[in-house]
Structure 1
Amino acid sequence: MTSGPGEGEKVALDLRGLKCPLPVLRARKAAKGLAPGTLLEVLASDPRARDDFPAFCENDGHALLDCAAEGDTLWRFRLRIGG
C-alpha cells in the first residue's frame, strides 16, 4: 500500500496473482484502516474480481468510481472509501 501527497489521500493496493476471495478480503481489510473519502486504487488479475468488487463496494458503503480492464488479465478498480 502506498499513499501520496495531495488534496485527498490516495492508496494503491496491488492484488495481482491472488484468487477469489482474497482480492476482496484484502481490499476490505485495507479499507477499514482508511479515512472516509480516501481514494483506493486496486489492481487485480482474478477475473472474478469484476463481479466481486461492485458487490463489495455496495455492501460496505464505498463508491466504485471506475472499473477498467487493462489487457486480458488485469483490472483496475478505483473506489472512494465511504463513512
Structure 2
Amino acid sequence: MEKEFLSRTYRFGINGNEPFMLRRKVWPYLLGLVNWTQDFEQLKNTYRAKYYNDVVEWEKMEKIVRERDQEAFVAG
C-alpha cells in the first residue's frame, strides 16, 4: 500500500478539496519522518520538545565556540 501511495503521489501530486491541508498531513510520511503506522499528531509534541531541547544544547555549544573565538582573537 505504501509503494502504491508513493507512486500515485509522484505521478499525480496531492490534490483534493483542500490540497494544502492534505499536503500538510502527508508530508511527514512522504519525507520518512513518521512511519506509515504512526500518528503524526501524537508525535508532534515529542518532536517539538526534542527540537527545543536541541536548540538549548546548540546555544550552549555556540556560547563556548564564541568564547574560544574571542580568546583566539585576543591572543592574536
Name the TM-score, length of structure 2 as normaliser: 0.23
Q: Which has the higher Rg, Structure 1 or Structure 2?
A: 2
Name the TM-score, length of structure 1 as normaliser: 0.22
* Greater fraction of residues in helix: 2
* Greater fraction of residues in strand: 1
Highest relative contact order (Cα 8 Å, sep 6+), 1 or 2? 1
